Structure 1
Amino acid sequence: MDDQLNFAPCGFITMDEDGNLISVNETLLILLDYSGEKLSGKHINEILSVPARLFFQLYFCPLIKKEEKVEEMYLSLTTSKGEELPVLINALRRNRNNASVIDCVLIPMRKRDEYENELIQAKKMAEIALLEKDKAVIEMEDLLQKIEEQRQELITLNRENQLYKENMEKELQLAKNIQETSLTEPISNEELQIDAYYKASSELSGDIYGFYQISRTQYGIILLDVMGHGISSSMITMSLQSLFQRLISRGVTGERIMKELDAHLHELFRNNADAWHYCTAIYLFIDTKKQTIEYVNAGHPPALLQAPDGIQYELISTTPPLGAFEGITFVKNSVEYSSGGRLLLYTDGVTDPLDVQHLPDLLMKHPSASLKELKGSILQSLEETESSYTENDDKCFILVDLK
């Protein structure tokens, strides 16, 4: 890379079609606080935030393949210290030395975000001032008359709503009990130990999980997160739950399970595009005799595998979410593990309130803690960072000790 490009006033990267970084200019390395050796050959997920990884798979990859270019796409990067850096990315796919590569220009957006926030705030203030002026024009006599009419209507509606609310609360509580009853119980034996945490943001959840003993030495674990939350998402999760429970219990392969779930979602919304939902999912097939894990990750946050020596591996997504595109080919990946390893699977409702590196650090900090103790540490972290925004998202995670 020549000096003009290497020290340009913007970031510049070149990667292959699989997202592996070929070169990164010095400007971007300084912005992200990385060395060139640290990122060389790594997947671009290494510098993308967790939400941006999903956005990259769902929008960037299909667009660059179809149009061979991407213009002004908004993404967020993560520095070596875990800080987010918003950028605009422009990309162009071209052939170089008989191979297809993707050149990307990344323009930092911190200042622009600040200016846009100021403009939004100014617009809100102007709208409030205009509204107050309009209200002052309304004659008091007409206003009082309308208030009285509305008060009478409100009294009637309140009576109806109270009855409806009482009936709805009973129905939602029943649905919640049914949904929670469908969740599988913890597993603990000489092969492994599995525990989970599940909390809906409202009465019903868009998250669902299941873990099943397929044979004496084989286990299947699945975690799904349907877009949104509440009644619509929970209905979709329950229809998916009955399907994956049947498939996993029969020992069907991970690729086949994902294909069946994807086809189910497409069939649900084939005649109703307005109700369309997609779903991120990850499935693990664990063979304790061979000490191997086969997994398929469809747009889901990467599961963490920590070896007994503390080395961690990310089981990253290689395909878009279920229900996103038709004709997706799902491919499994395999890793080996040693006795004493540990797995953590989670939905974005767990990672969004926390720093991007918090969960890996937590696993590293408590290598000998029991699953109960580790579960308590994660829940404590979530309670300490809880906010009005994160309260509105479902939270679910699964912990596995590989004995």
Structure 2
Amino acid sequence: MDELIEEAPCGFLTLSRDGMIQSINRTLLKILQCPSPKQLIGKHINAALANSAQIFMQLYFFPLIKTKHRVEEMYISLHTESGEEIPVLLNASLQKNNEIVCVIVPMHNRNAFEDEILHAKKMAENAYRDKEKTLMELESALKSVEEKQQELLIANNQNAKYKLDTERELELAKKIQETALTKDIINDKIQIVSYYHASKALSGDIYGFYQVTPEKYGIILLDVMGHGISSALITMSLQSLFQKLISQGVRAENVMQELDQYLHELFQNNQDAWHYCTAIYFNIDTTTRTVEYINAGHPPAIIQNIDGEQQELLATSPPLGTFEDITFKSRTINYTQGTRLLLYTDGVSEAFEPNTLNYLLHDSLPSDISETKGIIQGALENTENKFEKYNHDDQCFILIEL
């Protein structure tokens, strides 16, 4: 027998017209647990069949093969040497030489499949009997789903309206906050310009600059911890306070003391809502050409003379609202004509590599103050696009030329 047929993944045997085994492959021998083909060749096919299959073969197989010359998917059982019954599918055809060629495929899992089919049939019958109950439960569930969908639709509409109303309110609040910011001051004694960008609708940065007398100017920049609505509410309340104090010509130490005390009183009974803020304040006297300043934990301001020499005005005290009973003391420096000051919040400095602001201010020395502002603003906006991780913070700077 051909080697491919010997090791085929199915049983193969040939029978004479009267059912005598003429050849059998090794695969079928393994199925039958028969060690040698000599034990079966020359014997009737019944030698390999279970009792029920023997009768089935005589009643159906041989009459069909003789009249139709072929049998397809006949389900019978083989009988192994150990007495085990192996269910198989039998396909056969009658050749011209009266030889019957048979292909046998084991069906080990068929009984399990039949059990599953019977189980599924039983379940289907039970389900059919309970159909009315099931339909009622389904109808109830469907009704419940429809009710929930309607509730969800109403909630979504309410949320959409709330979101729209909130956006309108925030836009209005943003306009109010921006309106509270002071306008640029340009005269023959001093020039003050500013840049302001909120990371969200509302900002935690706030500033103000005021001409207190014809010779004196008060300038303040604050950065409340965090950003968004909570920080913006605090900045607006601080803005109304420092505007009043600075406009009245209150001394620098007293301005910072009042702002610090206000924050402590605001959160004394609610530590969860506690906020602090950094601040830097300047009193500029254009007659005496002096700059008096207090830096409460704020990024250092940069002062640059007309020759490009720079100095950083570092913190002189902790941020406002951090510790009780802080004594604020101002420092005073003299300036010459053409001196520039750059104040900024950490949202600006953190967007650059260290000392970038110093370089930008120095390199723009020949430019007028509006051009210098444009140079810093352009670099900041380009850096924002490059380093998106900094876009979440509010950004503000003030540029002064004396």
TM-score normalised by structure 2 residue count: 0.62
Gaps of 5+ in 2: 1-141
User: What's the CA shift for 1:318?
Assistant: 1.7
User: What's the CA shift for 1:170?
Assistant: 1.3
Which of the numbers 239, 254, 269 marks the counterpart of 2:267?
A: 269
- The one-letter code of the counterpart of 2:309 is I
- The one-letter code of the counterpart of 2:319 is P
Establish whether residue 317 from structure 1 lines up as the match of residue 315 from structure 2: yes
Aligned to 1:97: none
- The one-letter code of the counterpart of 1:220 is G
- The one-letter code of the counterpart of 2:203 is S
Identity %: 58
- The one-letter code of the counterpart of 2:154 is T
Residue-by-residue CA offset, 1:135-172 (whole Å, 9 max, x unaligned): xxxxxxxxxx9999986665333211110011111111
Correspondences of 1:2-401 after superposition (within 5 Å)? 154-386=152-384, 387-401=387-401
2: distance between equivalents of 1:300 and 1:270? 23
SS of 1:339's equivalent in the other structure is: coil
Aligned to 1:92: none
- The one-letter code of the counterpart of 2:196 is Y
2: distance between equivalents of 1:148 and 1:233? 43
Q: Which has the higher contact order (CA 8 A, sep 6+)?
A: 1
- The one-letter code of the counterpart of 1:399 is L
SS of 1:385's equivalent in the other structure is: helix
1: distance between equivalents of 2:309 and 2:235? 34
1: distance between equivalents of 2:360 and 2:289? 24
SS of 2:196's equivalent in the other structure is: strand
User: What's the CA shift for 1:259?
Assistant: 0.3
1: distance between equivalents of 2:326 and 2:284? 24
TM-score normalised by structure 1 residue count: 0.62
SS of 1:266's equivalent in the other structure is: helix
User: What's the CA shift for 1:264?
Assistant: 0.3
User: What's the CA shift for 1:272?
Assistant: 0.8
- With over 3 angstroms needed to count, the CA separation of the structure-2 counterparts of 1:338 and 1:164, relative to structure 1, is same
- With over 3 angstroms needed to count, the CA separation of the structure-2 counterparts of 1:279 and 1:147, relative to structure 1, is farther
Residue-by-residue CA offset, 1:82-107 (whole Å, 9 max, x unaligned): xxxxxxxxxxxxxxxxxxxxxxxxxx
1: distance between equivalents of 2:358 and 2:148? 55
Aligned to 2:119: none
1: distance between equivalents of 2:300 and 2:278? 11
SS of 2:284's equivalent in the other structure is: strand
User: What's the CA shift for 1:383?
Assistant: 1.8
User: What's the CA shift for 1:341?
Assistant: 0.6
| Paired residue total | 259
Gaps of 5+ in 1: 1-144
1: distance between equivalents of 2:295 and 2:184? 22
Residue-by-residue CA offset, 1:56-87 (whole Å, 9 max, x unaligned): xxxxxxxxxxxxxxxxxxxxxxxxxxxxxxxx
Structure 1 segments (4+ residues) deviating >3 Å: 145-156
- The one-letter code of the counterpart of 2:242 is F
2: distance between equivalents of 1:329 and 1:149? 64
SS of 2:396's equivalent in the other structure is: strand
Residue-by-residue CA offset, 1:170-189 (whole Å, 9 max, x unaligned): 11111111111111111011
Residue-by-residue CA offset, 1:290-316 (whole Å, 9 max, x unaligned): 110000000000110001111101111
Residue-by-residue CA offset, 1:104-139 (whole Å, 9 max, x unaligned): xxxxxxxxxxxxxxxxxxxxxxxxxxxxxxxxxxxx
- The one-letter code of the counterpart of 1:214 is V
- With over 3 angstroms needed to count, the CA separation of the structure-2 counterparts of 1:149 and 1:349, relative to structure 1, is farther
1: distance between equivalents of 2:326 and 2:354? 29
2: distance between equivalents of 1:335 and 1:281? 19
- The one-letter code of the counterpart of 1:290 is T
Residue-by-residue CA offset, 1:41-60 (whole Å, 9 max, x unaligned): xxxxxxxxxxxxxxxxxxxx
SS of 1:399's equivalent in the other structure is: strand
- With over 3 angstroms needed to count, the CA separation of the structure-2 counterparts of 1:385 and 1:153, relative to structure 1, is farther
SS of 2:388's equivalent in the other structure is: coil
User: What's the CA shift for 1:389?
Assistant: 2.0
- With over 3 angstroms needed to count, the CA separation of the structure-2 counterparts of 1:166 and 1:310, relative to structure 1, is same
User: What's the CA shift for 1:374?
Assistant: 1.0
2: distance between equivalents of 1:151 and 1:244? 53
